[in-house]
Amino acid sequence: MTSTKIIINNALLIFAGIVVFFFLMKILGLENVSELRFLNFAFVLWGINRAIKTNIHKNQESLYFNNFSIGIATSVVAVALTIIGLIVYVDFINPNLMTILEDSSFWGQNLSLGLVVFALAIEGIASSVICSFILMQYYKNYKVDVTIA
């Protein structure tokens, strides 16, 4: 399995998990509870872990930097998809989300979609590196068992 396919598959899973989670929050009337948005971290960790593990087992890849790169790339693609999803959601489905974000203690007042997108991109890239680094501390000593037939 190519590393690009691993990245795309797992980024789509992270994105799907976040989308389902946010729609579930909306259905349950919990979209005003901004603290629940931090659970995105769990989806990101899960997806990065799955990507690294898949690369190790399917591609027999045990090099630290290669797996670290797979983790970062997976998360960055998921962040990009999530930002695109947010733009579509705010523009076409629920423009009131900006008001909800302004009312939360986390974001502050006078928000624009561009500012939110920029903040999410920076936060997403930072969390990509941090989550990948955390997971690679587990996988750094993992060696692939290569047997010659």
In this predicted model, what pLDDT tens digit does every residue of 27-81 receive, in sequence order? 998 877 777 877 888 999 999 999 999 999 999 888 999 999 999 999 999 999 9
Tokens 């509870």 locate to: 33
Enter the pTM of the model: 0.87
pLDDT in tens, 84-140: 999 999 999 888 877 777 776 566 677 888 988 998 999 999 999 999 999 999 988
In a domain, 86, yes or no: yes
Max CA-CA distance within the chain?
65
Q: Where are the alpha helices (DSSP H) in 2-112?
A: 3-27, 40-59, 64-88, 97-103
Q: In the prediction, which pLDDT does 14 show?
A: 97
**149 domain residue, yes or no:** no
Q: Is 119 or 13 the better-scoring residue by pLDDT?
A: 13
Q: Do the domain assignments include residue 147?
A: no
Q: Is residue 96 part of a domain?
A: yes
Residue 53 lies inside a defined structural domain of this protein: yes
- Decide: 110 and 102 in contact? Cβ < 8 Å: yes
On whether residue 87 sits in a domain, the answer given is yes
Range of the domain at 76: 3-139
Cα 9 from Cα 7, distance rounded (Å): 6
Contact 46, 12 (CB under 8 A): no
Domain count of the fold of the chain: 1
